[in-house]
Amino acid sequence: MATPATNDPMTPQPYCVRQVVKETHDTFTLALEPGNGSHVNPFQPGQFSMLWVFGVGELPISISGDPAKDDRLIYTVRSVGQATNTLVSQRAGNSVGVRGPFGAGWPMDAAKGKDVIVVAGGIGLAPLRPVIYQVLANRKDYGRLVILYGARSPKEMLYGKELAAWARQRDTQVLVTVDYGGLSWRGHVGVVTTLFKYARLQPARSIAVTCGPEIMMRFVTRELETQGLTPDNIYLSMERNMKCAVGFCGHCQYGPHFICKDGPVFRYDQIRPLLDKYEL
Amino acid sequence: METLERILAEHLFFADLDQDFMSLLVGCASNVRFQAGAYIFKAEEAANTFYLIREGQVALEIFPPQHKPIIVETLGVGEILGWSWLLPPFVWKFHAHAVKEVRAIALDGKCLRGKCEENHDLGYEVLKRFARIMEQRLEATRLQLLDVYAVPR
């Protein structure tokens, strides 16, 4: 019997679940290690994997861990359906299939020498976390780091301790807001775009990366332009129904692009005309 | 020490305002301070003032009967607090609660209302600037109402 080649992008590799951490009531972070004890495939911030939950199905999930660490892959997953429910219910020692990494990531090279503005909403912070890790690990390569994060409520905020730690870093500004704050919340209440008023930006020497619900990103891109950023310095991570992850099946076609292969990260001026097309 | 005129002139809200108008505004302005926890105004009270926040944070709250207050929005440094003084019936619609100690410039809206009635050029300038703030907050409120972070149905 023929053995599948390990570099076949359609063949999942067995990974072992090492840890599952509950982030919010419905969002969990999984740490996976290669089942055969080897290193993980290197990935770029913004890339995703296809995670195979045996007997249930396959899911495209962005990698949310540190790209400098090659011993495990980290994914933050929101439990919203049968496959994600099963994935986040895995126990340490269980086996999960991993394909990838796939897709075009965030423009880490183009961002060198510039201020980096990270605008995230909800679970959209997960695909952006590797950007933050990389900027903070290579501080001299980048200018200021500005992180604007919006969540539904304080309880639904991701990576709370890390946000606080990032805020203490040199040349880093972290602003957080929630749509609905309880009485004990002493931070901002309002949508993520309202944070721009408090951000110390230098638009002419900045690059912006944003990820979140598509409606949010439409408002964010508009605000970034109002602030003075040009569309070629704004990047978005798009999401559609991805199946094969290598541009064969066409499930994730977005105008002339395949999200899985040409994205998920796109430069704003490349997809701007598509963003308000209802049919897409 | 910064003069009120200079502080107002440097604020985006008052940018490019005619010098005569600016002098009128300065005549209606004073420095104020609110301790953390204090209410700057409460719903249904007469609205005769608006504020330029210089330091601190203000929560706009609404009280459902027999429930704890709901914070609908927070305003911070550089933002304008209050427009109910501009439109009848001149009463506040929300409570404004100082989350942290607040330093602000209070502008006498009642006085300014009179001046706007007398001088429609001034009135139009003031209205245009408040309309911009209202438009931004309406857009933010609509986005907030969309509840975009909820699980899609």
pLDDT in tens, B117-147: 999 999 999 999 999 999 999 999 999 998 8
Instruction: Give per-residue pLDDT as tens, A9-24.
Output: 888 889 999 999 999 9
Locate all alpha helices (DSSP H) within chain B, ordered by sequence: 4-10, 19-27, 109-118, 120-146
How many CB atoms are closer than 10 A to CB A207? Answer: 24
ipTM entry: 0.84
Please tell me if residue A80 touches chain B, with a CB cutoff of 8 Å: yes
Contact A188 B150 (CB under 8 A): no
Q: Give B42's pLDDT tier (boundaries 50, 70, 90).
A: very high
Please tell me if residue A218 touches chain B, with a CB cutoff of 8 Å: no
Instruction: Give per-residue pLDDT as tens, B92-107.
Output: 999 999 999 999 999 9
Contact B147 A179 (CB under 8 A): yes
Return the residue in A179, A198, A214 with the most chain B beta carbons within 10 A, the one to mutate for interface testing.
A179
Residues comprising chain A, all counted: 280
Axis crossing angle, helix A214-227 with helix B120-146, rounded to the nearest 10: 150
Geometric angle at alpha carbon A237, from A232 and A239, rounded to 5°:
140
Contact B140 A190 (CB under 8 A): yes
What is the Cα A23 distance to its own chain's centre? 15
Contact A186 B149 (CB under 8 A): no
Q: Which residues pair with A53 in a beta bridge?
A: A57
Contact B144 A179 (CB under 8 A): yes
CB pairs under 8 A between A and B: 67
Please tell me if residue A154 touches chain B, with a CB cutoff of 8 Å: no
Instruction: Give per-residue pLDDT as tens, A72-123.
Output: 999 999 999 899 999 999 999 999 999 989 999 999 999 999 999 999 999 9
How far CA A41 is from CA of A13, A64, A183, in Å, comes to 11, 14, 45
User: Above 60 in pLDDT, residue A4?
Assistant: no
Which residues on chain B are in Cβ contact (under 8 Å) with A179? 144, 147, 149
Contact A152 B149 (CB under 8 A): yes
SS3 B86: coil
Contact B151 A78 (CB under 8 A): yes
Q: Give dist(CA B65, CA B84) in Å, integer.
A: 22
User: Above 60 in pLDDT, residue B1?
Assistant: no
**pTM strictly above 0.95:** no
CB B94 within 8 A of CB B37: no
Contact A198 B73 (CB under 8 A): no
Residues comprising chain B, all counted: 153
Q: Give dist(CA B151, CA B148) in Å, integer.
A: 8
Contact A181 B74 (CB under 8 A): yes
User: Above 50 in pLDDT, residue A2?
Assistant: no
CA nearest A263: which of A72, A65, A98, A44?
Answer: A44
Which residues contact residue B121 at a Cβ distance below 8 angstroms, ignoring those fewer than 6 apart?
A: B21
Q: Give A6's pLDDT tier (boundaries 50, 70, 90).
A: low
Contact B74 A179 (CB under 8 A): no
Q: Give B25's pLDDT tier (boundaries 50, 70, 90).
A: confident
Report the chain A residue with the minimal C-alpha distance to residue B145.
A179
Q: Give dist(CA A274, CA A7) in Å, integer.
A: 34
Tell me the nearest-neighbour CA distance from A124 into chain B, angstroms. Answer: 9
Report the chain A residue with the minimal C-alpha distance to residue B67.
A183
Query: What is the pLDDT at residue B4?
Result: 85
Q: Give B8's pLDDT tier (boundaries 50, 70, 90).
A: confident
Contact B73 A193 (CB under 8 A): no
Which residues on chain B are in Cβ contact (under 8 Å) with A152? 147, 149-150
How far CA A77 is from CA of A179, A277, B30, B60, B61, in Å, comes to 21, 28, 52, 34, 34
CB A264 within 8 A of CB A48: yes
Which residues on chain B are in Cβ contact (under 8 Å) with A215? 143, 146, 148
Which residues on chain A are in Cβ contact (under 8 Å) with B139? 219
Q: In the Cβ-directed half-sphere of A162, how many Cα atoms lie within 13 Å?
A: 17
Mean pLDDT of chain A: 92
Please tell me if residue A97 touches chain B, with a CB cutoff of 8 Å: no
Residue with tokens 């604020």: B11
Q: Give B2's pLDDT tier (boundaries 50, 70, 90).
A: low
